[in-house]
A and B are shown apart, each in its own frame.
Chain A
């Protein structure tokens, strides 16, 4: 599972880097086309918004994988050993359960509804269901990472203290 996480992290990070670069070029093109080409591009604004949705949600999964999300660790940072592991299991289980419900189930229903209603975007004419797919995709990534962290903390419950790993210290690449 560790290996799988590294592989997913790697592909996800390259995807995010590429999307970010495309987003910048896209909006620069919007400015350029308006000033110099007399024919302002109509699709760039829409494309930019949808890319942002994808980058925000899948990037949110990546940030979770790297332990970057803001949290109030006032009470939990002093925990050590078994208690730290239990607290980690609780935190990541709640995240996983919420994400499975709201992102995967709720998101998939949203995608399904918009596909059935045949909603398409105004300028690009792509089905909105594809745009909203960002939510269940991000949900699956987050649930995967939450399972990874639950498994890691479970291992720490029984591990002797010197073998403890600190999930917040994990650095990938």
Chain B
């Protein structure tokens, strides 16, 4: 067998990545170099262009810019503040309550905007100072904030699950969205468990109970935000509209809410909000475009087949193979951001696990949960950087309180990997 193509792809990818070239271009250039091993130059260049065009030609992908835009519209601070206040009335009076509030607000924020980075910066900005005032260690608060915002990647709507749906060749987005709820909740609860233990050991003081009248007021204030969850997910689950249409409706709803009702954003702010969402969208789209040409060259070089064969010769035990895949993804996630990692590794690993009889919906959830650990770890962790920046603590200091939470996340990952019903119960219930 000829491995020249594989070697060129892997070597050029790693070298270009460490040179500091933007990942979308790293993917494109290493794809081109690999193609040149066996295909003539003109044809290779045209193939890349053609794969980029067809890769982006998808109505499902359109949900991504809309969810990003809806998230931007809600990200003005008003929504995060209301969710934090709402969370406080629920769990603020428990020992370690503020840490729970952070986790719950992050889960709700994930269910509304779906952006983990937005959740980390918005909620961390509110919770950090309050937790400090009540005697929480800053690095501990930052660690809770960083990790709890990953729940938004699993709890729908989730843009990364849409990317996975595309990379896997069309797994139902509605099924993936439903599958994310319980694992997202599981991760949130596991972080709360660690935080609660930490609060108990350090004897953090307990906040006062919120008076009932105030609690009701906070709840009423949060209702318009919380209703978006019902509007979007209810609409998708009941088949009233597709994920893309739901996302467009979410844009309209958040626009009315934040401009006309909460009045957090003025009409004149809209162009800059639109431009920011467009840039964020384009970053993802360019990654998708070049990844589509890479997945073409990977199947041209039979890479998924070879990886599959290699893994199966390593062991015929599905348990061992899943552990190996998880370890590979955890190490990849430490260096690579989530979107490129999903785009590159889905076509490689999905055929392997499907041969083991795994549901592609289940694997998507494993992949996102696994890679979300990587977002919180050095050397490259988007959430780690954002969360430390917001809390103004050094990365080195945050590592210690992060370690037990990582352990909890990895245990959740193992549970989700080996108990398929955690992911598949809800999709099955709704007939997917």
Decide yes or no whether B407 CB sits under 8 A from chain A. Answer: no
> B283 touches which one: A27, A63, A72, A74 (CB < 8 A)?
A63
Contacts of B25 in A (CB 8 A): 69, 94-95, 98-99
The answer to whether residues A110 and B49 also contact, given A55-B65, A72-B23 and a CB cut-off of 8 A, is yes
Q: Closest approach, in angstroms, between the C-beta of B120 and any C-beta of chain A? A: 16
CB proximity to B under 8 Å, residues A87-130: 87, 90-91, 94-95, 98-99, 101-103, 105-107, 109-110, 113
The answer to whether residues A76 and B19 also contact, given A56-B56, A101-B32 and a CB cut-off of 8 A, is yes
Contacts of A13 in B (CB 8 A): 275
Q: How far is the CA of A129 from the CA of B69 in the complex (A)?
A: 29
The answer to whether A27 and B24 touch across the interface, beta carbons within 8 angstroms, is no
Q: How far is the CA of A55 from the CA of B281 in the complex (A)?
A: 8
The answer to whether residues A69 and B22 also contact, given A31-B248, A106-B47, A106-B49 and a CB cut-off of 8 A, is yes
The answer to whether residues A105 and B45 also contact, given A20-B65, A52-B56, A57-B286 and a CB cut-off of 8 A, is yes
Decide yes or no whether A170 CB sits under 8 A from chain B. Answer: no
The answer to whether A135 and B66 touch across the interface, beta carbons within 8 angstroms, is no
Contacts of B65 in A (CB 8 A): 20, 23, 52, 55
Interface of B is mostly: helix
> B57 touches which one: A30, A49, A63, A73 (CB < 8 A)?
A49
The answer to whether B278 and A62 touch across the interface, beta carbons within 8 angstroms, is yes
CB proximity to A under 8 Å, residues B35-60: 41-42, 44-50, 52-53, 56-59
- Contact string against A for B residues 276-297, beta-carbon threshold 8 Å, 1 for contact and 0 otherwise: 0111011101111100010000
Decide yes or no whether B390 CB sits under 8 A from chain A. Answer: no
Q: How far is the CA of A87 from the CA of B16 in the complex (A)?
A: 12
Decide yes or no whether A66 CB sits under 8 A from chain B. Answer: yes
The answer to whether A27 and B248 touch across the interface, beta carbons within 8 angstroms, is yes
- Beyond known contacts A16-B282, A106-B48, A131-B53: 5 more, CB 8 A cutoff: A27-B248, A56-B281, A63-B279, A91-B19, A101-B45
Chain B residues with CB under 8 Å of chain A are 16-25, 28-29, 32, 41-42, 44-50, 52-53, 56-59, 61-62, 65-66, 69, 241, 244-245, 248-249, 251-252, 271, 274-275, 277-279, 281-283, 285-289, 293, 335-337, 339-340, 379-380
